[in-house]
Amino acid sequence: MLTDLWDFRQQLEEAQILICFNGPLSQSIIEEIGAAVKKYLETEMPGHGKLLDVFSVYIEQTQNIRNYSRRKAAGQGELPPYNGITLLIGRQGENYVVASGNIIDKGDIPPLRAALDHLRGLDAAALKALYKEQRRKPHDEHDAHAGAGLGLIDMARKTCQPLEYRLRDIDAGHAFFNLIAVI
């Protein structure tokens, strides 16, 4: 068990991690962390255009994970008993990094990978056109992947480099999905 929080704090500072959270998400936690993120960023970079982008990407990542977990809990799949989120917001030179991670069913990897790889290959103009096209499409609330499409495109539009993702096998049916956005 990690008991020396001073060393942990030093590691976070050395890695320029501003905010770190690990645990299950609820709407109230998303809102509370969101308020803290917004307040911190307003203090750190008053009047800066990146502030809203960092906040928006944080909200999109946490909402995507929360919605995914809710769909699975509603009977569309099984996740291990603990399916919380690992979230961090940090600095990388002049940029900010918003990273999140959660456990996903391996069966959900192919469409997620295809969507992210497609977005990674688009320039700013193509991302803008795809975003407009997606917004015009009717929203199907029964489509398990409908919510993430527009949000992923919006995140990709706000980043200064392509969205990055990593997958790590956990067991035969699950993987840990890590999404990194640099703003």
Mind listing the pLDDT tens digit for each residue in 19-61? Answer: 899 888 788 988 898 898 888 888 877 777 788 899 999 999 9
- Residue 67, amino acid: N
Q: How confident is the model at residue 98 (pLDDT cuts 50, 70, 90)?
A: very high
Q: HEC profile for 27-92?
A: HHHHHHHHHHHHHHHHHHCCCCCHHHHHHHHHHHHHHHHHHHHHHHHHHHCCCCCCCCEEEEEEEE
Which pLDDT score is estimated for 147?
Answer: 43
Which pLDDT score is estimated for 58?
Answer: 93
What is this structure's pTM? 0.86
Residue ranges and CATH numbers for the domains of the chain are: 17-182 (3.30.565)
